[in-house]
Amino acid sequence: MFNLVIFASGGGTNAENLMNHFCGSDHCPVRAVFCNHPDAFVLQRAKSHGVPTFIFTKEELNAPEAENKIAKELDKYDADVVLLAGFLPKVPDFLVNRFKDRMINIHPSLIPKYCGKGMHGDHVHEAVVANHETETGITIHLVDSQYDHGRILFQAKCPVAPTDTAEDVAAKIHDLEQRHFPDVVLNYLNTL
C-alpha cells in the first residue's frame, strides 16, 4: 500500500484525474493535496473529493524551517509517494531526498526539449509552435534535484500541425495527460 500526496499549484486538472483514479483505492489512496497558492482551483477540486489540503507559500517552502513544517504535515498523512501535478516551484532537496524514487512529475513536453526553469504550461506550448515543431508530447519522470530532470518513466507523442495554435497544442497535451498519468503512476508503483 502507498499513501499518495499530490502537490499542485493551479487549476488542478491533472490532480483531479489522479483523485478520480485513486480516491477510494485501498492500494494507493490520495491522502492530501499540498498547494502553494491559497486561491488555486485545485483546492476546490480536492474539497469536492473530500481530500484534505495543506497550503504553503513559495517562501515557506524554501525557508529553513520548511523541512520540519512540511515534513510534519507529510507525516500526518503517512505519505509514501508524492505526485507533482502542475506544481511550479522547484522542489527543495529535503523533499527530493525524502522521496527518492517515490516522487513523480508530469511535464508537457518531450524532455529534454522545452523543460527547465520557466518552461511550464502555455510557455511550453507557445515555444513548440514558435519553433515549428512537428511533434510534441508529455514526459512522466522521477524527480531529482534539477528542474524537469530524473529518470523518465514514460513519454507519449502527438503531432503538431503547421496550423496549430498554442491552444491547439495544449488541448492535445491535456488529452495525453488525462489518458496516461494515472496508469503510469500505478504501473510504476507496482514495481516498488
Q: Are 55 and 28 in contact (CB under 8 A)?
A: no
**CB 189, CB 142: distance < 8 Å:** no
In angstroms, the CA 8 to CA 24 distance is 20
Q: How far apart are CA 79 and CA 30, in angstroms?
A: 9
Known active-site residue 107: yes
What CA–CA distance (Å, rounded) separates 178 from 117? 24
Question: Among residues 21, 27, 37, 107, which one is catalytic?
Answer: 107
Residue numbers annotated as active site:
107
